[in-house]
Amino acid sequence: MSGTGLCRAFAVLLWVAAGGAAATGAGPVIPASAQAGDLVFREGTEAVSDAVLALDGGPFSHVGMLIGGPGNWRVIHATPAELPGRTDGVVVDALAFFLDRSRARQYAVYQVKADGDQRRAAVRAAQDKVGLPFRVADVGGTYCTRLVWDAWRQAGVDLNVRFTPLRLPLLAGEYLFPRALRASPMLVPLTGVEDVPARWAVVSPLDATERLPGTASPPQPSNP
């Protein structure tokens, strides 16, 4: 190999070591210490995300719970429909879909202080909510922060968070915002605020084993 070729190869190795591979398509980077039950926050791209950010004053508008493991991370979250044919509700999505640039500008991963039994109980509690309608001001449904807070509460872990009172038309009540959830003394940041690369290599909306009973495979979204 010529001297120029060696320099180029060395430059490529440095670029990969610095994270270049992850930024172009290896998929979202989740810390090796992450475990099922941990939380992944994102700043969304929709108008409803802007509304949450304006009310909350924090950097994130949405949150979900990690399930699975390295190489097969998925996210349980309560969300307005993000695919044609879906209804608003609690769903399970592949992590790359959850953090696709069309849905997320930046993200962060937080670990919950809990043991293995509590983690398994929290994941089961969240999975039991799959299919529940997405509702903000209706006890018959749930929303993103409340879903994960309640799952951990059922697992015996008090996240010790503060609900914010709102006095808005049709939305009077107390709500849990992402900033208050991130401030929980039971959460430890595993990442800083990470920018989402322009494109992930794999964007899969839903793992086949996690489809809701009686539903067909969801349509694949077009990549932006």
Q: What pLDDT is attached to residue 104?
A: 95
Tell me if residue 24 falls in helix, strand or coil. Answer: helix
Provide the pLDDT for residue 133.
97
CATH superfamily of 31-209: endopeptidase domain like (from Nostoc punctiforme) (3.90.1720.10)
Give per-residue pLDDT as tens, 68-107: 999 999 999 999 999 999 999 999 999 999 999 999 999 9
Q: Answer whether residue 215 shows pLDDT above 80.
A: no
135 pLDDT tier (thresholds 50, 70, 90): very high
Look at residue 139 in the predicted model and tell me its pLDDT.
80
pTM: 0.77
Most confident region among 28-42, 126-140, 143-157 by mean pLDDT: 143-157
Catalogue the long-range contacts made by 43-49 (C-beta closer than 8 Å, 24 or more residues apart). Answer: 43/104, 43/105, 43/106, 43/107, 44/103, 44/104, 44/105, 45/102, 45/103, 45/104, 45/105, 46/80, 46/103, 48/80
Mean pLDDT on 156-165:
96
HSE-up of 75 (CA within 13 Å, CB side)?
24
Mean residue pLDDT of the chain comes to: 80
pLDDT score at 27: 65
